[in-house]
Structure formats: C-alpha cells, structure tokens
Structure 1
Amino acid sequence: MGYKNVCFDCRKAFNQGTDLKNIRESKCPECGILMTQVTHRFRPPKQNEIKKWNVAKFLMEKGFLYEHVYKRIYQVRGLTVLENYATYPENMRDAKEFVEKYKEQAVNE
C-alpha cells in the first residue's frame, strides 16, 4: 500500500511507501520533471512498453488516477450502491471508451 511517483518522460515509477503523513511531490531523478502521484493500484508497464505508458498518461490526464472506478453506481432506498470494479484499459481505443463511459467518476483537480 502507499503511493507511487511516476515520470512519463523517463517511463519510471518510484514507490513512496506507506507513511501517508510524509507523502511528497518529487522530481524525477533522471530528468528533473515533477512526477505524477498515483495510488499503489497503478502497475507501471515495462519501460519499453511505450503504448501502455501513453495509455496511462492519457487516463491520468483525464482524471483517472488509478483509484477504484465502479462499473455501476445506483441508489436503493436512499443508499448508494457501488457495483464491481472496472478494469483499467491497456490500449488507447479502450481507454477512450473508458473515459467516456466513466467520466462522472474522474477526479477533477
């Protein structure tokens, strides 16, 4: 559990550990660019899997930071029911469909 800092230019991810009080923004040790923070759920592709890195970057830019996304959300007697986790896509075509389908669950910063 914990967070990761991700550099999309160098295609590298660095674990930040589980001490949530000391989570910090970091610059990439290779290129010096401020890295993107994501949850432990993000599984970085291999460095040479450029298409998968592009998909991950696209999803994060659209507000999907590898938090849980639910396939279905509905109300029953005033209670919100969250049904099944959606699987994050690995190709751009599926990523575009994913963003459109779950846009109401995106994080808007």
Structure 2
Amino acid sequence: MKLLLDENISDRIINRIIDLYPDSHHVKSLGMTNTDDVVIWEYAKMNDFVIVSKDSDFHQRSLLYGHPPKFIYLRIGNSPTSKIVQILRDNFETILKFADRETESILVLM
C-alpha cells in the first residue's frame, strides 16, 4: 500500500515512513505542487494511492464519490511533522486494514 501525501503535510515525512509504506510519495516529488485537488484525486485513483491530507476538500470529495482512491483524513490541526509521523507509524495496522476493506472510503485519524 502506498500513500500520497498532500501539500499541507511536510514532504520530509516520506523518508520517515517509507519503511512501512513503500512507494509512497508527496505531491511535491511528483511535480504536483499547487495542483487542483481534482487532479490529485484522479492521479491517486489511477495510480492506486491512498491520499493523506488535513484538507476538508478531500473529505467532502470522498463523501460524494467514495473510493477509489481511499482517503486518510488527519484531524490534527497545526501539528509538528513528528506528530504526523507518529500517527502514521502508530496506526500502521489500522491503515492496512482500512486499505483492504471494500466498503470504507475514509479513515479519520487524530
């Protein structure tokens, strides 16, 4: 399973989670900085990514259209990079199960 981190999350996180989430990327590394959410959504859908964001727009899109792609909604406000890394690492098993479930589109982590 691979994650696609939105630009509202630090790109430095990738190097700290790549051991658990191989082939994950940040939108910046894909040349998608300042790209419309619709384009990111379609890219994730076509390339089997799970989107990770603090953006409520992705939350709304996921409610409207379901999956793919799946969406992990980080409801943590302004938090340091270390906290986001910890959340993604601590919830690894939960995230794996979420990715495998056919009926779930959104996973909210706090």
Same fold (TM over 0.5): no
- TM-score, with length taken from structure 2: 0.31
- TM-score, with length taken from structure 1: 0.31
The structure with the larger Rg is 1
* Larger RCO (alpha carbons 8 Å, 6+ apart): 2
Q: Would you tell me which structure has more strand in proportion to its own residues?
A: 1
